[in-house]
Structure 1
Amino acid sequence: MKKIGLILMFFWLTPMLISGQETFEVSRTMSIKGSVKEKSTRKPIKGAEITIAGKGTVTTDVFGDFKVEARVGDELIITDDGFTTVRYTIKDGQNIDVLVEDHPNEPQLIKKRAGQKLESNYTQNLEAARNTLKKDAATSIEYITNALESVRDDDPAADNKKAELFEALADIYKHWKQPDLAESNYLISLKNKYNADVEIKLGYSRLEAKNYQTAFNTFSKLQKSRLSATQKIQVYEGLGDSYKGLQRYSEAITSYNKALSLSQRKKQEGKVISLNSKLAKVLQQQGQLSAAEGYLDNSVQLAQKKDKKTSARQRTVAADFYNKSNSYAKEIQLRKEALQDIEEIEQSEGEAPLNEDKSLTPQVQNYKIASAFAAQQEYDEAITYLEESKKEAKSKNDLIVQKDAARKLGEVYREKGELKKASEAFEEYEVIIDKLYIQKDQEISQAARFSRELAQKANRITTLEKDRELNETRYELAFASQELANQQSLRQQIVIYFLVGLTILLLLAAYLMFRNMKQQRYANNLLALKSLRSQMNPHFIFNALNSVNTFIATNDERTANRYLTDFSLLMRAVLENSEQDFIPLEKEIELLKLYVQLEHFRFQDKFDYTIEVDPEINVNEYMIPPMLLQPYVENAVWHGLRYKSEKGILSINFQNVASDTIEIIITDNGIGRKKSKELKTQNQKLQKSKGMGNIRKRIAILNKMYKDKVDVFITDLEENSEGTKVKLTLNKDK
């Protein structure tokens, strides 16, 4: 009986399953492609709207193609101002080709409606680009691209629109710290239509890129133009910034004063505050501290009358000034007031208003207050503020301030004599340093990805302009060839001209692609240099810390403190220079002296050393990659002199070879490379030297970027393979 029931149920369910299968086939959503073309000319129609009731609307691209998600039986409604509305019912999943006929209305009316539609698209996309400028660079650039697509060359306002769009594009690049791209797009905007405001922006983008001479030329040219009062203030301020960058401080003060006088007459308080600050900085650099303090007090008093953010920012500027002049009491008072302003802002508005200014944070101000107390040897006060700075930095994942606070805390405890707490603080500092390296690597990867995205967007805009020119040329030639069908010879000439033009366009596109690839390679090289710079020598740090441990173990605390102080100075200098591609030779020599002093302090019975600099060398005119020489000196000490039975000699000479070339010769009379290699343990042989490997990579990249700037030759000092000589040739920047 049970089997009979199952059979009956099977026969009852089978028709329902079949019916359900058929219903599924009909109701299944499919991806359907299609195109819309003119019936008479087969010309693709761009911008036609394809609507499915209740499912949205898509538009055709430049080739008249579209893609929709629909089911069998859905009705497509194809509309455009240029033709009569067409309705099409989907029968299967095959591609759809819709041929449309011209609209029966008058052609002028059609053209007017199409123009109104394009104008609306242009306005909407430009407004959207401006609204998303500070939120998402890629989205903002996408809106600019869409607006550019809606601009037709036969539009009388085409040049004005292009000028406006490329100005907006440059504003995007400027906000996202891409001054080179901003400069090129401001120039394109000015090429389409001159605008004094755009040229002022061009000058400031050149300042941001530190092209002070070209910025000066831009602002000097603007002085000859007819400008409004606001524009004159911007030009005078830009001239002041340019003079300051060129280290022409007297001219900078004159220009700033002109801008300040005009700002005061026009009651532009924000400009008055910033110009007072700039004048104070320049006067401080000239040593005119009394005059600088007067301008600074004016800026603080004016800022107090405005909003809390302006007040806090100006107080921190003034505090920095008093820090440099060792007026710590004034500095502390100002920073406490700024800290109160920042806390009130965060309570009322949250952190967002302060995100753009990294110095206006509680952790930074607490750290600087602590540094001022430490400078006055008020260690208990300094410790309180350092602990608060660490706490704030940790809560906001600010590893940089957290790292500085931990290091400073260790130094304060050490000066106070609490060595155990100092050791704990330094251990915490090392842990934070490791985290910071990981974060920096992630930031470098994100920066590379962001640069690639911006490059792709820029390439798309360039390609769009070329495609539009190519399509316009193609359509014009097709129309001309149809009208001149009976003039065979003329048509052939047109085809030839078209092919020549197309070839030129392709060559130009190839050139642009080559140039973009070259720029990308350059950007990749910069990223590689940053990555290599971020890697310190863990071998030296490990050995140095072991030495400190040895001194402490032998109860030689004074020697340990002295060694740790010198070691922290070296590490701080290395970190300060870690973001620079090049530093002056003078700084590199100072770092090298400090490093050799540390090594000699550890191995006094193993070697003596000399560092000689040719007096004919102007050490400020030569630029050198930071920590370039240290690995060679370390190799000389650790693999040559350390194993020598008698006391050795380390010699470092800086010799002038030519007007733009110097030689740096590092020699040691140690055991030599061959014998050092034989003394290595099996484990040491398996390990690779990251220091020397990084140096070789850096030199290879630098020589590729700056055309043979550095050459290195390593040879044996003696014929019996004892001793080592490293000769490094450094060329001056052209």
Structure 2
Amino acid sequence: MKPIRPKPYAALLLILTVSGLITYWGRLLYAGVWRQTEEAMPDLGGLARYLLGIIVLLASLWGLAHLNYRLAFRRWLLRTEARFYYWTWLCILAWGLFEVLQIRTEHEPEFVDENLLVTAVLMGFVIAYGYVADAFRTRREQIQLIQQKTEAELTALKAQINPHFLFNALNTIYNEAQRVDNEIVADLIQQLSGIMRFTLQESKKPLTSIEDELQFLEKYLALQRARLPERADLRLTTELDWDGQPAQIAPLLLIPFVENAFQYGISLVQPSYIELAVSVENRQLRMSLVNSLLPANNARSGTGTGIANTRQRLALMYANRHELRISQTTDSFVVELTLSL
């Protein structure tokens, strides 16, 4: 899957906000400090040293909290049998910080309460940093696991779909070879060659172009037409339209619905029909598929793995970007799919 990129207007909003904040602070600083007479110019060197001291203090505090998280938090607190070591270490760290503050105030008794308060604030930051950093780490690991799980499920689903389709296509060519001459068989083999190439190569990719997907579908429909007898009560209507705009789609996403229609909706002896319409416009795909539902297939139509697998692929790869409606009557099976590519 392609990584999600931030929208341009979000970056522009951040730039405007930061610029506004810096301008506001600069105006206040100029009005309160810098807009003075030449005899009372502010000590810019002292201000720079003061700001540098704050930066050094914050960096030191962050470094101490990060080292505590890496060397103590993850080593001891995350292990039940070693948690007492972690809290013992925090007590020693608090003692050390307090003594440093005591040295800074030259052990004056009137600064003891202030040093205790500062020590408590610093230790609160160190402890909170450990829990927050570990929460972010856990979240990153969960996202990685979800991505790995999604990729594994999609690979497994493709592995179920591809062989099923190839066996059906080979069976079609075998039946045709028994009743036609070599020229027709050669054409069917050429169609199958293109299908196999697409199935074995493109299906390994997370996405393929909509043009290749539609060409694959056309080859499949050509194979199916070749095996069907010419009868007035056997009707196969297909319409594939694409506006030419570049777009990508998950490979082999539409074929399970079409396979299902041929498997359960076409009979070589009874009246039957399939009506397929696929259109792609402004990277919006719409598919309408209606097939006859033969009496012998009413109880088992749509119960195979093909449509169930496709439902899962749509949910995984096109969450909140698709709408799938499947309905069934006594004599027809209808699939309507809308997909944002």
Alpha-carbon distance in structure 1 between the residues aligned to 2:189 and 2:154: 29
The CA distance in 2 between the partners of 1:547 and 1:467, in whole Å, is: 63
Match of 1:571 in 2: 196
**Gapped regions of structure 2 (runs ≥ 5):** 6-65, 74-85
Q: Which residue is 1:515 aligned to?
A: 140
The 1:697/1:600 distance shift into structure 2, 3 A limit, reads: same
Deviation at 1:497, TM superposition (A): 2.9
Alignment deviations for residues 279-309 of structure 1 (CA, whole Å, 9 cap, x no partner): xxxxxxxxxxxxxxxxxxxxxxxxxxxxxxx
Task: Determine the C-alpha separation between the residues in 2 that align with 1:644 and 1:550.
Answer: 16
Q: Counterparts of 1:619 and 1:644 in 2: how far apart (Å)?
A: 42
Other structure's SS at 1:652 match: strand
- Aligned pair in 2 of structure 1 residues 580, 608: CA closer, same or farther (>3 Å)? same
Is 1:478 paired with 2:95? yes
User: 2:310 is matched with which residue: 695, 701, 706?
Assistant: 695
Match of 1:524 in 2: 149
The one-letter amino acid paired with 1:709 is R
Offset of 1:564 from its aligned partner?
2.2
In 2, are the aligned partners of 1:712 and 1:727 still within 8 Å (CA)?
yes
* Aligned equivalent of 1:609, options 237, 255, 273: 237
- 1:580 aligns with 205
Matched, 1:664 2:281: no
Structure 2 partner of 1:634? 259
Letter in 2 for 1:702: M
Identify the residue that residue 723 of structure 1 maps to in structure 2: 332
In the other structure, the counterpart of 2:324 is 712
Q: Report how far residue 480 of structure 1 moved.
A: 3.3
Inter-partner Cα distance in structure 2 for 1:654 and 1:526: 28
- CA shift at 1:675, angstroms? 5.5
* Cα deviations by residue, 1:661-694 (Å, 9 ceiling, x for unpaired): 33222223x126x75234x6xxxx9x96232222
What letter matches 2:97 in structure 1? Answer: A
Secondary structure of the 2:116 match is helix
| Number of the residue aligned with 2:216 | 591
1:539–1:514 CA distance, 2 compared to 1 (3 A): closer
The match for 1:618 among 241, 244, 248 is 244
CA contact (8 A) 1:588 1:626 kept: yes
Q: 1:526-572: CA deviations, max 9, x gaps?
A: 23223322334444333333333334445744433332221122111
**Aligned-partner SS, 1:609:** strand
**How far apart are the structure 2 equivalents of 1:580 and 1:474?**
55
| Cα distance change, pair 549–661 in 1 and its aligned pair in 2 (3 A) | closer
- Structure 2 counterparts to residues 11-50 of structure 1, below 5 A: none
CA distance in 1, matches of 2:274, 2:146: 43
Q: 1:588 to 1:558 in 2, by over 3 A?
A: same
Alignment CA distance shift 1:554-1:596 (3 Å): closer
- CA drift of 1:647 comes to 5.4
**2:286–2:336 CA contact under 8 A, matched in 1:** yes
Shift, 1:595, TM fit: 0.5
1-structure distance, mates of 2:125, 2:269: 75
Task: Give the distance between the partners of 1:671 and 1:474, measured in 2 at CA.
Answer: 76
More RCO (CA 8 Å, sep 6+): 2
Cα gap change, 1:630 to 1:677, in 2 (>3 Å): same
Gaps of 5+ in 1: 1-208, 212-462
1:652 touches 1:665 (CA, 8 Å); kept in 2?
yes
Matches within 5 A, 1:138-537: 466-468=69-71, 476-482=93-99, 484=102, 487-537=112-162
CA drift at 1:630 = 0.8
Q: In the superposition, relative to structure 1, how do residues 724 and 619 fare at CA in structure 2: closer, same or farther (>3 Å)?
A: farther
Q: For residues 270 and 245 of structure 2, what CA distance do their matches in structure 1 show? A: 36
Structure 1 residues 583 and 492, CA gap change in structure 2 (3 angstroms): same
TM-score of the pair, normalised by structure 1: 0.31
TM-score, normalization by structure 2 = 0.63
Contact 1:665 1:725 in 2 (8 A): yes
Distance 1:570 1:663 in 2: 23
Partner Cα distance (2:227, 2:120) in 1: 82
Other structure's SS at 1:578 match: helix
Tell me: CA distance 1:665–1:551, structure 2 relative to 1, closer, same or farther (3 Å).
closer
The residue that corresponds to 1:330 in the other structure is none
Give a deviation string over 1:471-524, Cα, whole Å, max 9, x none: 998755322334648625522441243123311331232122112212321232
CA contact 1:652–1:667 (8 Å) conserved in 2: no
- Whether the 8 Å CA contact 2:173–2:185 is kept in 1: the answer is yes
Distance in 2, matches of 1:533 and 1:629, equals: 12
Change (3 A) 1:556 1:729: same
1:677 corresponding residue in structure 2: 298
In 2, the alpha carbon distance for the partners of 1:510 and 1:517 equals: 11
Q: Is the 8 A contact 2:278 2:287 kept in 1?
A: yes
Counterpart among 616, 639, 654 of residue 279 in structure 2: 654
Written as runs of structure 1 = structure 2, the 5 A alignment for 1:125-140 is none
Task: Report Cα offsets for 1:680-729 as digits up to 9, x if no partner.
Answer: 6xxxx9x96232222122112113xxx4233211124xxx5322221111
CA-CA distance at 1:618 after TM superposition: 3.4
CA distance in 2, matches of 1:578, 1:655: 20
The one-letter amino acid paired with 1:725 is: V
Please state whether the residue corresponding to 1:577 is helix, strand or coil: helix
**RMSD between superposed Cα atoms in Å:** 3.5
Residue 16 of structure 2 aligns with which residue?
A: none
Tell me by how many angstroms 1:601 deviates: 0.8
Q: Is the 8 A contact 2:69 2:129 kept in 1?
A: no
Letter in 2 for 1:726: V
2:171 is the alignment partner of 1:546 = yes
Q: Taking every aligned residue pair, what percent have the same amino acid on both sides?
A: 20
- Counterpart residue number, 1:414: none
Counterparts of 1:482 and 1:702, CA distance in 2:
57
Q: CA deviation at 1:643?
A: 6.2
SS in 1 for 2:206: coil
- Does the aligned pair in 2 maintain the 1:610–1:652 contact within 8 Å? yes
The superposition leaves residues 584-606 of structure 1 with CA deviations (integer Å, 9 ceiling, x where unpaired) of 11111101011011111111433
Q: Which amino acid aligns with 1:666?
A: L
Aligned residues: 254
2: distance between equivalents of 1:517 and 1:711? 28
**Counterpart residue number, 1:419:** none
Q: Distance in 2 between matches of 1:528 and 1:702?
A: 11
